[in-house]
Structure 1
Amino acid sequence: MTEKLFYEDAYRKEFDARVLSCRPVPEKGYEVVLDRTAFFPEGGGQYGDVGEISGVRVSDTQEKDGDVIHYTSEPLQEGAAVTGKIDWEIRFSRMQQHTAEHILSGLAHSIFGYQNVGFHLSDEICTMDFSGPVTKEEMEEIEKRANEAVYKNIEVNVLCPSREELKNFEYRSKIEIEGQVRIIQIPGYDTCACCAPHLKRTGEIGQIKVIGLMNYKGGVRVTMVSGNRALCDHEKREKDMKEISKLLSAKEWELPEAVQKLKDDMERQKSEVLSLQRKLITYKAAEVPAGQKLACLFEKDLDGTGIRELMNQVLENHVTVCGVFLQKGEGWQYVVGSREKDVREIGKKLNERFHGRGGGKPEMIQGSLQGRPEDIKSFFEETVNG
């Protein structure tokens, strides 16, 4: 079994080792096993470390039957002495997120009795799923208390109690653990079984920021960033605010009112557009002679609701069949209706002839097709008259 140096010192960045085996694997390069490693394999919701071994890129790290598998871009000679170097910036960021997750999950457990039933730590965000509901205000209070733990700079303890000691040991755990149980303890905030590397002190987290809260499977899913990720999130939000402020010609503290005014203006304009469209539809429908057998209209200035309304108004003038075709890019959105005939066969023939798709009820069909307007009009008239 590989000697796991990351358990001895989570801050170890480089190490010397010997290659025990190396074999090619499809699409992943090579599987390399060393006699000792500081690369943490994927586990506990945290991705495996990346870095390099003697200049060869390590893209992922997994564990199989006690051996740590390093996936490399090039082969390494079995028996060779090598030097490993983990990507410390990525590892440290993951330790920040993971330690912060323990604090948030511990608080949710102590306050509400909820379990963390899902955890995922990527290189962009960290998500955790709690087993019960949490309001926005309650989450804000948890976030505040979590950051208090950061400011206190509490020592993070790693405990490996015996099976006998575990009988009277209270800790959180999502799964039944075989073998040695490794406990991460943040006094006053969390005690949880976990296999991943963590920070030495909570102050190294820097800041904990909850950026998302949504209902999920009877509980909530919390999205969080901490450390440098939190700083980057703040910087992006500040940049976005400045850009929005510039676009709206408003001070940053005036943005809520400016956005509300913009929303009100858009609603008013939308109402005006709808009123004008109704008038336009009435004029267009009046241009179709009443009582004729069919009408085939091609439009550009209406929307999907508008062409249905136009069709209905034309049919009210005792036109037997009406088809309205709205230009959409290089194709057409269509609606065909009748108060007297089953128009589904007309739609079927249109779709077959012009590579279309759609359907509906006997009195109305809708869909989309491709073709020149003169060809569509000619075919439509032939189909209806035929």
Structure 2
Amino acid sequence: METEKLYYQDPYQTTFTARVLTCEPSKGGCLVTLDRTAFYPEGGGQPADHGVLGGVTVTDVHEKDGVIFHTCSGPVEIGAAVEGSIDWTRRFDHMQQHSGEHILSGLLCSLYDCSNVGFHLGADTVTIDYDRDLTWEQVLEAERQANEAIWRDTPAEITFPAPDALAQLDYRSKKELTGQVRIVSFPGADCCACCGTHVRRAGEVGLIKVLSCQKFREGVRLEILCGQRAYQYLSRIYEQDHAVARLLSVKPQDAFAAVERQNAELTAAKLRMTELEDRLFALRAQSLAGRGDVLLLDPPMRPDGARKLADAAARAAGGLAAVFAGEQDSYVYALVHAGGADISPLVKRLNSALSGRGGGRNGFAQGSVQADPSAILDFFHKEGIECSTC
């Protein structure tokens, strides 16, 4: 016997009573069927409702051949009349996201002759796939019109048209449909075949915000937020922008320009630092002229600093230059041999003795070790290389 679907009669109904038809043990608890239910089952990209049924928790709901199965944390008595209560916060969030997706998709498809070919209402964001390429400017225009549709606050229309009326109706659908078709319309924005729960009026969606538009297969994938999710997201972004502006001593609306100026200053400072570092490395290398193999222990430096110093030192000293940059027991290293000799055996011994990882070829190697300075000095002392500057 098919389950009576109370969520279609009134998606705002949060409590109900029903008779338990079956209760069978299953993975995750018990699988329960009822004569009627307000719990929406997973379907059409919309997750299932959660809540409580007969005093036990409902963790999942799915439908098969018209029968709705509730996954419950424990058993309920077969034949008993039980009370169900859905998690309204979760339900209304799903209604906002799903209805907002309809409004945006309807406008995108009518404006740019595309089709919605995928929809997923996730725990954090909603993703929608379209079958043609769309520019960011086109998406923002549809977003603008979608929010205007929300502000007009027109009532949603949900109908089950007769076959002849359905044949005359221009509606969106991802696939060919047979039997009774449920049509959800937001006048002026969308008309679509859908099995999900929706708000009564467009205004209840509150807000639609598109977060991203990425190339996906033949078209694009949008990531969006609606309603309370959009409000909370934009509030977090504002608080972040406000905090950044405070650090930069500017108004929030001037934060981007201030960041651009600071980034330009930082880029110039990095270039100047590189120039000075190159000069310093050249002077240090001059002091090592003709020494042959050398070992240098230095404080932490930029990622390519150890390599540049090792290269300069090897050319000046005329042998192997081993540079270790770091502190305490964590160092990066760069090894360069002036003549390009094979140093892989040395690197293998080094990594084994000093808990290191890395390698190279043609007289060059780089990596990192987990060892203190004394262990590094001891290793190279055994290799016949003494520290030139510590």
Scaled by the length of structure 2, what TM-score is found? 0.90
Does the 8 Å CA contact 2:358/2:368 hold for their aligned counterparts? yes
Per the TM alignment, residue 260 of structure 1 is displaced from its structure 2 partner at its CA by: 2.0
Secondary structure of the 2:304 match is helix
After superposition, what is the alpha-carbon deviation per residue over 1:305-352, rounded to whole angstroms, capped at 9, x for unaligned? Answer: 111111111121142212111226632211212124111222122222
Cα 1:377–1:180, aligned 2, differ >3 Å: closer, same or farther? farther
Cα 1:349–1:218, aligned 2, differ >3 Å: closer, same or farther? farther
The amino acid that maps onto 1:23 is E
Secondary structure of the 1:302 match is coil
After superposition, what is the alpha-carbon deviation per residue over 1:43-69, rounded to whole angstroms, capped at 9, x for unaligned? Answer: 111110011113322222222343222
Does the 8 Å CA contact 2:288/2:317 hold for their aligned counterparts? no
Does the 8 Å CA contact 1:320/1:340 hold for their aligned counterparts? no
Q: Does 1:296 align with 2:307?
A: no
Q: Percent identity?
A: 38
After superposition, what is the alpha-carbon deviation per residue over 1:109-145, rounded to whole angstroms, capped at 9, x for unaligned? Answer: 1111112222121243222122222222222211111
Does the 8 Å CA contact 2:17/2:82 hold for their aligned counterparts? yes
Aligned to 1:9: 10
Cα 1:81–1:377, aligned 2, differ >3 Å: closer, same or farther? same
2-structure distance, mates of 1:358, 1:163: 70
After superposition, what is the alpha-carbon deviation per residue over 1:241-284, rounded to whole angstroms, capped at 9, x for unaligned? Answer: 32222221112232232222221222222223222322332233
Aligned to 2:199: 199
2-structure distance, mates of 1:238, 1:321: 54
Does the 8 Å CA contact 2:300/2:327 hold for their aligned counterparts? no
Q: Does 1:331 align with 2:341?
A: no
2-structure distance, mates of 1:210, 1:301: 42
The amino acid that maps onto 2:271 is S
Aligned to 1:108: 108
Q: Does 1:139 align with 2:136?
A: no
Scaled by the length of structure 1, what TM-score is found? 0.91
The amino acid that maps onto 2:21 is L
Per the TM alignment, residue 376 of structure 1 is displaced from its structure 2 partner at its CA by: 2.6
Secondary structure of the 1:317 match is helix
After superposition, what is the alpha-carbon deviation per residue over 1:219-245, rounded to whole angstroms, capped at 9, x for unaligned? Answer: 322222222223223322332232222
1-structure distance, mates of 2:151, 2:13: 25
Cα 1:302–1:286, aligned 2, differ >3 Å: closer, same or farther? farther
1-structure distance, mates of 2:192, 2:320: 71
Secondary structure of the 2:70 match is strand
How many residues were matched structurally? Answer: 383
What are the equivalent positions in structure 2 for 1:178-327 lying under 5 Å apart?
179-292=179-292, 294-327=293-326
What are the equivalent positions in structure 2 for 1:86-125 lying under 5 Å apart?
86-125=86-125
Task: Compute the RMSD of aligned alpha carbons.
Answer: 2.3
1-structure distance, mates of 2:384, 2:76: 75
2-structure distance, mates of 1:319, 1:23: 80
Aligned to 1:175: 175
1-structure distance, mates of 2:327, 2:67: 59
Q: Which runs of 5+ in 1 are unaligned?
A: none
Secondary structure of the 2:79 match is coil
Aligned to 1:61: 61
The amino acid that maps onto 2:15 is E
Aligned to 2:388: none
Does the 8 Å CA contact 1:94/1:123 hold for their aligned counterparts? no
Cα 1:46–1:278, aligned 2, differ >3 Å: closer, same or farther? same
Per the TM alignment, residue 85 of structure 1 is displaced from its structure 2 partner at its CA by: 1.0
2-structure distance, mates of 1:66, 1:384: 81
Per the TM alignment, residue 76 of structure 1 is displaced from its structure 2 partner at its CA by: 1.6
Instruction: Say which is worse superposed, 169-178 or 141-150, in terms of deviation.
Output: 169-178
Secondary structure of the 1:140 match is helix
The amino acid that maps onto 2:248 is L
Secondary structure of the 2:224 match is strand
Secondary structure of the 1:320 match is strand
Instruction: Say which is worse superposed, 210-219 or 94-103, in terms of deviation.
Output: 210-219
2-structure distance, mates of 1:242, 1:352: 50
